């Protein structure tokens, strides 16, 4: 699997985030970072926002993401290369690499060997491996001689970090979002809010962002609609409204996602599920939509 640039740089209208480097952002020249995301939960719970960290790391050019197929949806809020952790071969993967996992996934769903080997490779090769987990101290008990010791304890080169802290720093330093951070820490929505606010478009809630009759033409909210068309989801998804609503839950922490799903489907219907028509509609002045 080769690493490539983002298919669509949804964050490009925000000049302050262009060409950012993760190691400079966290102020540590580390080959591996373990990021605790408290939003991640056990698989048998009604999980939400398991993928909320992906947009932040995509800004830093992490476009290949390993995570369980359980969290995979045909619809993606941002376009990334998903590699299922089930069956992934650590020796075939390339860095930089983002891996989202839970301790339960490591120990009970066969991700332990994957995490361990990727950790070893990152430290040996100096590649950048970001492990987002539900703990700041993920353990690989089959490989660690001392019981209870985490990989962060074991390898001094690993830098621990916290997603809530990283997202707060990012929002404060680079964005001027109108959405309360208590509503979401997904920087995709805050980036969209920043762009909307600059152009006096609705910017103070996730629902407001997806009013396509008022969204600026350079807003990131057009990208999910474009992705839907380019992935030909109309022909493969039954009960599209329900499926879209459920998929959006993987990116949002709270609230009903039905209105956003309806708005996406509405603009797709207006544009006959056609990319060229969507682009033409997108580039019309809002007053003419």
**Domain boundaries along the sequence of the chain:** 15-163, 167-284
Topology (CATH) of 15-163: Rossmann fold (3.40.50)
Q: Is the pTM value of this prediction over 0.85?
A: yes
pLDDT at 282: 97
Token pair for residue 99?
């891996």
- pLDDT value of residue 9: 83
Contact criterion met (CB below 8 Å) for 96 and 62: yes
What parts of the chain have a pLDDT lower than 70? Answer: 1-8, 42-45, 236-237
* Residue among 66, 60, 13, 49 nearest 221 (CA): 13
Contact yes or no for 139/152 (Cβ under 8 A): no
289 C-beta neighbours (distance < 10 Å), count: 14
d(CA 49, CA 257) in angstroms, rounded, equals 12
Helix/strand number for the chain, H first, E second: 13, 6
User: What integer pLDDT is reported at residue 2 of this predicted model?
Assistant: 32
CA distance 284 to 280: 6
* Contacts with 132 (C-beta within 8 Å, 6 or more apart), sequence order: 35, 37, 40, 53, 57, 98, 99, 100, 101, 163
Note the pLDDT of residue 125.
96
């Amino acid at each position: 699997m080769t690493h490539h640039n983002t298919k669509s740089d949804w964050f490009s209208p925000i000049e302050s985030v262009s060409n950012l480097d993760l190691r400079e952002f966290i102020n540590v020249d580390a080959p591996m970072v373990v990021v605790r995301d408290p939003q991640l939960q056990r698989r048998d719970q009604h999980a939400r926002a398991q993928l909320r960290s992906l947009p932040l790391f995509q800004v830093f050019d992490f476009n290949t993401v390993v995570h369980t197929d359980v969290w995979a949806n045909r619809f993606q809020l941002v376009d990334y290369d998903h590699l299922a952790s089930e069956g992934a071969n650590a020796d075939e993967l390339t860095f930089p690499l983002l891996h989202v996992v839970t301790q339960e996934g490591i120990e009970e769903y066969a991700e332990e060997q994957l995490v361990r080997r990727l950790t070893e490779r990152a430290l040996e090769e100096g590649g950048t491996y970001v492990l987002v987990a539900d703990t700041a101290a993920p353990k690989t008990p089959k490989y660690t001689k001392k019981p209870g010791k985490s990989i962060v304890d074991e390898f001094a080169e690993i830098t621990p970090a916290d997603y809530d802290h990283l997202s707060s720093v990012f929002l404060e330093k680079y964005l001027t979002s109108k959405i309360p951070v208590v509503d979401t820490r997904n920087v995709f929505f805050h980036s969209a809010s920043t762009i909307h606010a600059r152009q006096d478009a609705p910017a103070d809630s996730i629902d407001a962002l997806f009013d396509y009759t008022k969204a600026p033409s350079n807003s990131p909210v057009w990208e999910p609609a474009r992705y839907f068309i380019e992935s030909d989801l109309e022909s493969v998804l039954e009960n599209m409204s329900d499926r879209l609503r459920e998929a959006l839950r993987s990116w949002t922490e709270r609230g009903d996602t039905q209105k956003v799903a309806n708005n996406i489907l509405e603009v797709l219907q207006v544009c006959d599920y056609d990319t060229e028509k969507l682009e033409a509609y997108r580039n019309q002045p809002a007053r003419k939509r």
